[in-house]
Amino acid sequence: MCGIAGILRQGGPDPADAGRIQRMTARMIHRGPDDFGHLLLDSRSGRHLLAQTLPQRAAEAADVCLGSRRLAILDLSEHGRMPMADPAEQCFITYNGEIYNYLELRRELQQLGHHFVTETDTEVVLHAYLQWGDQCVCRFNGMWAFALWDQRQRRLFCSRDRFGVKPFYYMLSDEAFIFASEVKAILPALPDRPRPNERVIHQFLVDRLQYHDRETFFDGILRLPPAHNLSLKDGRAQLQRYWDYDTISHHYDLADPAATLRDLLDEATAIRLRSDVPTGLALSGGLDSTSVLSCMKKHRPQQHFHAFSARFTGSRFDESPYTQQAAEHFGVQLHWIDYDADRFVDDLRDVIWHLDFPMLNYQPLAIMQVMRRAKQQVTVMLEGQGSDEILAGYQERYFVPHVLDELGRALRSADVTAARGAWRTCRAIAQRYGRTPFLHGAARLCGPLEKLRLARRLPRCGLARDFIAAHGGPQRRNWPRVTGDRLNDAMRDEHARTYLPWILAQGDAISMAASVESRMPFMDYRLVEFAFRLSSEMKMRNGVTKLLLRQATGERLPPAILARQDKIGFIAPAEQWIAATLDEQIRPLLTSRRFRERGYFDPATVEKLLQPARLGHFYVSDSIFQALNVELWFGRFIDGQDGGG
């Protein structure tokens, strides 16, 4: 797990690049506090320098610059330092991530004649490329983002894992290709201050779109899409997809899906326990993290694990009784983190700095504290993230496609049971969430209704009418139809395009801010391939979520957790935090001259929203939080001193 950076000059060397690459890696010291290294290479002659500290004029002939900050997880010696070279010193890699099946690949490569001098997975990635070329990534089970310079072909080969767990940002111009694990690490290499991407900001504020496949909040800075390779040679860039959701990489036993799911989750957890540093767990007391804990204890029954959890005592979001029960049931030591809202705005600035962009939800504030507390005892943290979007974990979000599927089955086969199931689902949703999910679902099914809803809501949220109308106005969001199974299609959309990619991006940034590696067994690509081969009827029925996971792990879990239907997760009492800091910290920002001049919000409406926010009314907290996030992002990256080198 590391932070990577690089500069590939298209039009010849720039002597200042030695300083630039060092400033780039220095901005990511939190990603790699254990070690660092740099490569300067002249692609015409192949002459190169691998060093930690570079002489001032070392880049006079170098048109390839790579850098790395290392968080040591496997082989803690300096032999794991990057950038790393192959034995012939023809290929050089800077790499961020973990290849969980590295031991199996290492043995296979040794049988093919490869020799290894370290115990790292980095060296396995390098030799896998030497053996199988670009297609080596199809053999990897893990999370990764890397750049590999191949002097034999004078080509830079870059790759990102199937689901984009590890980040890869870049800027491509006629002069250079510049990349890094974080946007802020690219900025010191740019000739000018960064500019905001107005289209992305519009979609964030108007459509509440948290993630874009390639674009970022910074104009001209892109992200390498998940499951893609990018190669650069002779000034030309080629992007190629190597995996898709229709890919079937293995044979999966569909006859007994619960047993298959249990076996896959067991194996996914087992290989994610491979580490030379202490390992812990982010525990919420829900089905997902408790299932992962059950697998951890199955494979390491004698190991003393530490678990960490945020607690909001007295809040309607407090699920600490379930968390405590899970910890006691499996005999792990539980550490509570009580978030203190006194530093709400300062913490928010800190989180935005590490994310590189504003956010719509509050979870990263508490998760940051969890990770920092965890770092005192562990360096690797397992999590339950990724289950909801393959096994139907969100009742209120998925009930509309689920009900439509059940009604479709009822109509096709005159199945009274399916019709009753649809009715039970609607009744359960109404009892738990009221009418709001029905209104949102109807709006997504009906374009004019969606536009009417947004036209009424957005100005009340404080957005300026001229800004709402810009860039084509609000965009309608439909549930895509891919397979004919509406619920599976909705989950696939959230897994690939909308919700989960953002959760993964913020999860990686926040864990790495604390120098902690986060590992997620439910993100194992075999689990994803298997889950999307199953009918959604196996995952959600009569309003009961994660039906298959309950069947697969039911014998292992405490009955009270197995029976849970209340999906909470890392939800925070944000309206209380906003009310406590409104007058002294938030109001000055949202009434400032710069805020008004941006043109995104209507000052008079924002002023009206501040009064109920002071009283702790939750219905305005999202609007205030959204405005505050954008203003803090501008202040940190666009207006402030952190945007340039």
Check pLDDT > 60 for residue 644: no
Query: What is the distance between the alpha carbons of residues 597 and 57, in angstroms, rounded to a whole number?
Result: 44
Q: Distances from the Cα of 32 to the Cαs of 25, 278, 380, in angstroms?
A: 9, 17, 13
Q: What is the pLDDT of residue 269?
A: 98
Cα angle 382, 385, 388; round to 5: 150
Which DSSP string do the residues of 302-369 spell out, in sequence order? T---EEEEEE-TTSTT--HHHHHHHHHHHT-EEEEEE--GGGHHHHHHHHHHHHSS--S-SHHHHHHH
* 109-123, 262-276, 489-503, 616-630, range with the lowest pLDDT: 616-630
Q: What is the pLDDT of residue 102?
A: 98
Q: What sign for the dihedral angle of Cα 124, 130, 131, 136?
A: positive
Q: What is the pLDDT of residue 474?
A: 75
Number of Cβ within 10 Å of residue 409's Cβ equals 18
Cα angle 243, 248, 254; round to 5: 150
Average pLDDT of 36-45? 96
Residue 314's pLDDT band (cuts 50, 70, 90): low
What is residue 203's three-state secondary structure?
helix
User: Which residue has 């939190």 as its token pair?
Assistant: 30
Structure tokens at 45: 């002659």
Of 166, 165, 191, whose CA–CA distance to 178 is shortest? 191
Paired residues of 519 in beta bridges: 382
Query: What is the distance between the alpha carbons of residues 577 and 597, in angstroms, rounded to a whole number?
Result: 27
Of 537, 219, 583, 227, whose CA–CA distance to 403 is shortest? 537
* 269-278, 294-303, 359-368, 517-526, range with the lowest pLDDT: 359-368
Check pLDDT > 90 for residue 105: yes
pTM of the prediction? 0.94
Check pLDDT > 90 for residue 538: yes
Q: What is the pLDDT of residue 530?
A: 98
Query: What is the distance between the alpha carbons of residues 59 and 22, in angstroms, rounded to a whole number?
Result: 12
Query: What is the distance between the alpha carbons of residues 344 and 363, in angstroms, rounded to a whole number?
Result: 12
pLDDT above 90 covers a percentage of the chain that reads 72
Highest mean pLDDT among 198-207, 268-277, 416-425: 268-277
Q: What is the pLDDT of residue 138?
A: 98
Check pLDDT > 50 for residue 645: no
Cα angle 261, 262, 267; round to 5: 100
Residue 573's pLDDT band (cuts 50, 70, 90): confident
Query: What is the distance between the alpha carbons of residues 233 and 197, in angstroms, rounded to a whole number?
Result: 28
Q: How far apart are the first and last CA of the chain?
A: 25
Q: Distances from the Cα of 636 to the Cαs of 582, 612, 628, in angstroms?
A: 20, 28, 12
Structure tokens at 223: 């992200």
Alpha helices (runs of H) in 375-498, residue ranges in sequence order: 388-391, 395-413, 416-433, 436-445, 447-460, 465-469, 486-496
Cβ neighbours for 376, distance < 8 A, ≥ 6 positions apart = none
Number of Cβ within 10 Å of residue 535's Cβ equals 14
Residue type, 555: E
Average pLDDT of 60-68? 94
Structure tokens at 75: 């082989």
Average pLDDT of 602-612? 92
Check pLDDT > 90 for residue 411: no
185: enclosing H helix or E strand: helix 183-186
Q: What is the pLDDT of residue 212?
A: 78
Contact criterion met (CB below 8 Å) for 396 and 425: no
Paired residues of 40 in beta bridges: 49, 65
Q: What sign for the dihedral angle of Cα 426, 427, 429, 430?
A: positive
pLDDT above 70 covers a percentage of the chain that reads 91
Of 362, 371, 391, whose CA–CA distance to 288 is shortest? 391
Number of Cβ within 10 Å of residue 395's Cβ equals 22
Residue 621's pLDDT band (cuts 50, 70, 90): confident
Q: What is the pLDDT of residue 16?
A: 93
Contact criterion met (CB below 8 Å) for 567 and 608: no
